[in-house]
Amino acid sequence: MKLKELNGIGEKTEKIFNRAGIYSVEDLLTYYPRYYDTYEQPVLIRNLEADKTQAVRGKIVRELSLRRVRKLQIVEAYIRDEEGNGIKAVWFNAPYIKNVLHHGDILIFRGYVHENRGTYVIDQPKTFSSDQYQKKMGEMQPVYPLVSGLTNNMVLKAVKQAFSLLSPKEKIPLEIRKKFNLQDIEGALHNIHFPKENNDFHIARKRLVFEEFFRFIITLRELKQQNEIARNQHILHEPEELKRIIAHLGFQLTNAQMRTWEEIKKDISSEKVMNRLIQGDVGSGKTIVAVLALLTVALNGEQGAMMAPTEVLARQHFEYITELISKNELNITPAILVGSMTAREKRETCELIASGKADIIIGTHALIQENVLYHNLALVVTDEQHRFGVKQRETIFEKGNYPHTMVMSATPIPRTLAIIMYGDLDISIIDELPSGRKPIANCVVGTEYRPKAYHFIEKQVQEGRQAYVICPTVEYSEAVEGENVIEYAEKLQAVLPPDIKVDFLHGRMKAKEKNQKMEAFAENQIQVLVSTTVVEVGVNVPNATVMMVENAERFGLAQLHQLRGRVGRGGNQSYCIFINGSGKKDASQRLEILNQSNDGFFIASEDLKLRGPGDFFGVRQSGDFEFKIGDIMNDAKVLKDAAHAVDLIENKEVSISEEERALIYNVDKKNINI
């Protein structure tokens, strides 16, 4: 059903909804709240606590003031409660507030309280009469993820209308729902949007998570069945040149790399098509193993493709392979295909691919677009695979004549979960780091440590090394606290000597610009790179030895571990500085886990223990698996249940009707993100 059929949604509003990923009335039902707001009893000013949303009842003691700071318009009000204590309230870019609120008004102010130079300030409070507030108390108000132009109220109204127009279809068989104690779909969807109490939410969420995992597992099983019947159409043998290439890599392959390489060789020369996951912690050297496979394919006269999640990474792989080919004087043509190329460049590359002139093709999602036709695709490698969907894996599968597939991942997940998540794949594990790596030296410190850190970075740069500084946000915003890349880079450049070049990188930049900056950093034209987490995935600049993370408390430990993996990639001692910007002790405690271990798997499981699996709105454990609502670590039990349910159905151990079966095996794969 079209969005425009809802009251209050015209063409313009429809576009705004589209930007949030909502294209139909059906989509609204699964546009889940990010969290719920509950309105608590107002407190006295002397009982307020910092860094928390709270409500106070008070009187405005003078007319509001309006001032400008840079591009910001700031309205301020002074409020006094019944005991005579005062607090300041501020609103940003909302000058109309000055005409709405006046001296003498007695209201309830609800907002985020923070400390500013020793006194408390209440940020952008919403105001209510006592009656209004009384009504809100005790309700759980859904808070939706928003994009600019979209307000919570717009979503709320649309969702309410959607419920009155649609009745969602039940896709989990009754017997399964009974056995695993799952709510029906209608109730679950209703309660995820409008829970009366916490328990409603938990019951609803469990059902929806289950369904998400359930569908995912069914898709995997279908893939697996396809794999099992497919005969190997590309029987590949190790070419003569390969031994020479391996001997001249400039390093000795580790035992784990050798073992993995042997497993791959065995697969691709066998009767069956290879579908293999290469799991190895950051820095374990997965790339070279993939590259050996690609060279083997090319030397056998067929085509191999490698997909990376970002352009920066694709370019890096391309350059590495190109260099290796020319160093070894191989008769192989590499090509690159990425989104930022001009239409003409793309067309030319596509011709090379279609004619078979290009032997090894590196790229991003662009590689699986419809207009890309392959001549004889025999191998597809996806680097950091979790960022690609099962659906995409299928698409690429269809591009060739049953090509071999290899997926590489650094995501540390327990074996029991890996078996489910990668149910359609065989697994090789690279569980050894290249020799000669010095363990990274870590520290977790407060913001007062910054001057020392800057001095340290300066010294490292003088020794010829480079540094990353990671900030959580791109640019200044009142709504989100924390350091931002743009201002930070400016600040840092001012502190460091002018011959040290500081520059920045973030995800909102154009792909071309990102590539340029990353290349400049790789060539040491930039010594200090201030960046968001766009560098998290796989980038390799072995000369970088310092990773400083601002507001480290904002990141999941698994993510911080990935970031840490950007350094320690060469022979030099590397350092990681995690800045706890919150000053809170429990945040420091959590970050200390990173000190205890360099083992990604250990870190992820400790993080989970510390926070407990109930922490649904906290940092995502495994942001890599982009399920809409489920989280494989936090919801591990539900994931196992869902796998069990699929087993029961496949083994016909539950009775389900034909109609129910048809619904299960006819899932819409577009909605499965993995």
3-state DSSP of 199-220: HHHHHHHHHHHHHHHHHHHHHH
Q: Is 84 exposed, middle or buried (0-12, 13-18, 19+ CB in 10 A)?
A: exposed
Using DSSP's 3-state secondary structure scheme, residue 309 falls into coil
x-or-dash string of contact with ligand ADP, 201-240, rule CB under 6 A: ----------------------------------------
Q: Looking at beta carbons only, is 544 or 672 nearer to ligand ADP? A: 544
> Interface residues for ligand ADP in 278-297 (CB under 6 A)?
280, 282-288
Q: Report, in Å, the least distance between residue 33 CB and ligand ADP.
A: 36
Q: Looking at beta carbons only, is 257 or 382 nearer to ligand ADP? A: 257
- Rule CB under 5 A: which residues touch Mg ion? 538
Task: For residue 404, state whether it binds ligand ADP (rule: CB under 6 A).
Answer: no
> Interface residues for ligand ADP in 319-348 (CB under 6 A)?
none
Q: Looking at beta carbons only, is 349 or 562 nearer to Mg ion? A: 562
Q: Looking at beta carbons only, is 212 or 384 nearer to Mg ion? A: 384
**Strand 528-531's sheet: what is its strand order?**
441-445, 575-579, 544-549, 466-470, 528-531, 502-505
Q: Report, in Å, the least distance between residue 287 CB and Mg ion.
A: 5
How long is the chain? 674
Residue 506, contacted partner among Mg ion, ligand ADP, none, CB below 5-8 A by kind: none
Distance of CA 646 to the CA centre of its chain: 27
Q: Looking at beta carbons only, is 363 or 538 nearer to Mg ion? A: 538
C-alpha Rg value of the chain to the nearest Å: 28
The number of residues that bind ligand ADP (CB under 6 A) is 20
Q: Report, in Å, the least distance between residue 506 CB and ligand ADP.
A: 22
Q: Looking at beta carbons only, is 173 or 538 nearer to Mg ion? A: 538
In this chain, which of 542, 573, 611, 619 binds ligand ADP, going by CB under 6 A? 542
Rounded CA-CA distance 272/402 in Å is 10
Q: Looking at beta carbons only, is 341 or 406 nearer to ligand ADP? A: 406
DSSP per residue over 212-246, as a string? HHHHHHHHHHHHHHHHHH-B-S------THHHHHH
Residue 42, contacted partner among ligand ADP, Mg ion, none, CB below 5-8 A by kind: none
Q: Report, in Å, the least distance between residue 565 CB and Mg ion.
A: 9
Rounded (10°) CA dihedral 355, 356, 357, 362? 120
> Interface residues for ligand ADP in 425-464 (CB under 6 A)?
434
Residue 125, contacted partner among ligand ADP, Mg ion, none, CB below 5-8 A by kind: none
Q: Looking at beta carbons only, is 380 or 410 nearer to ligand ADP? A: 410
In this chain, which of 161, 540, 572, 673 binds ligand ADP, going by CB under 6 A? 540
For residue 51, give every residue at least 6 positions away whose Cβ sits within 8 Å of its Cβ, in sequence order, or none: 112, 113, 114, 115, 582
Q: Report, in Å, the least distance between residue 277 CB and ligand ADP.
A: 13
Residue 277, contacted partner among ligand ADP, Mg ion, none, CB below 5-8 A by kind: none
Q: Looking at beta carbons only, is 26 or 432 nearer to ligand ADP? A: 432
Q: Looking at beta carbons only, is 250 or 614 nearer to ligand ADP? A: 250
**Kind and range of the H or E element at 335?**
strand 334-337
Residue 428, contacted partner among Mg ion, ligand ADP, none, CB below 5-8 A by kind: none
Rounded CA-CA distance 165/181 in Å is 28
> Interface residues for ligand ADP in 251-280 (CB under 6 A)?
251-254, 257, 280
Residue carrying structure tokens 């429809």: 14
Q: Which stretch binds ligand ADP (CB under 6 A): 161-169, 265-273, 501-509, 535-543?
A: 535-543
For residue 619, give every residue at least 6 positions away whose Cβ sits within 8 Å of its Cβ, in sequence order, or none: 554, 555, 556, 559
Q: Looking at beta carbons only, is 193 or 564 nearer to ligand ADP? A: 564
B/e letters for 110-131, b = 16+ CB within 10 Å, e = fewer, are bbbbeeeeeebbbbbbebbeee
Two structure tokens written together for 453: 């850190």
> Interface residues for ligand ADP in 569-628 (CB under 6 A)?
569
- Name the residue whose CB lies closest to Mg ion: 538
Q: Report, in Å, the least distance between residue 563 CB and ligand ADP.
A: 12
Residue 434, contacted partner among Mg ion, ligand ADP, none, CB below 5-8 A by kind: ligand ADP
Q: Report, in Å, the least distance between residue 568 CB and ligand ADP.
A: 9
Sign of the C-alpha dihedral, residues 423, 424, 427, 433? negative
Q: Looking at beta carbons only, is 101 or 544 nearer to ligand ADP? A: 544
Residue 280, contacted partner among Mg ion, ligand ADP, none, CB below 5-8 A by kind: ligand ADP
For residue 279, give every residue at least 6 positions away whose Cβ sits within 8 Å of its Cβ, in sequence order, or none: 408, 409, 410, 411, 418, 427, 428, 429, 430
Q: Report, in Å, the least distance between residue 406 CB and Mg ion.
A: 13
Q: Which stretch binds ligand ADP (CB under 6 A): 101-109, 245-253, 292-300, 395-403?
A: 245-253
Q: Report, in Å, the least distance between residue 518 CB and Mg ion.
A: 14
Q: Report, in Å, the least distance between residue 260 CB and ligand ADP.
A: 11
Using DSSP's 3-state secondary structure scheme, residue 632 falls into coil
Residue 660: CB atoms within 10 A of its CB come to 19
294 phi/psi in degrees, rounded to 5 = -65, -40
Instruction: Give the CA count within 13 Å in the CB-facing half-sphere of 422.
Output: 24
Cβ(381)–Cβ(304) below 8 Å: yes
- Name the residue whose CB lies closest to ligand ADP: 285
Residue 282, contacted partner among ligand ADP, Mg ion, none, CB below 5-8 A by kind: ligand ADP
Task: For residue 538, state whether it binds ligand ADP (rule: CB under 6 A).
Answer: yes
Cβ(390)–Cβ(672) below 8 Å: yes
B/e letters for 335-352, b = 16+ CB within 10 Å, e = fewer, are bbbbebbeeeebeebbeb
Distance of CA 590 to the CA centre of its chain: 20
For residue 377, give every residue at least 6 positions away whose Cβ sits within 8 Å of its Cβ, in sequence order, or none: 302, 303, 304, 305, 399, 400, 401, 403
Q: Report, in Å, the least distance between residue 556 CB and ligand ADP.
A: 18
Rounded CA-CA distance 550/556 in Å is 13
Helices (H), 523-654: 557-564, 585-596, 600-611, 636-650
Residues of this chain that bind ligand ADP (CB under 6 A): 251-254, 257, 280, 282-288, 410, 434, 538, 540, 542, 565, 569
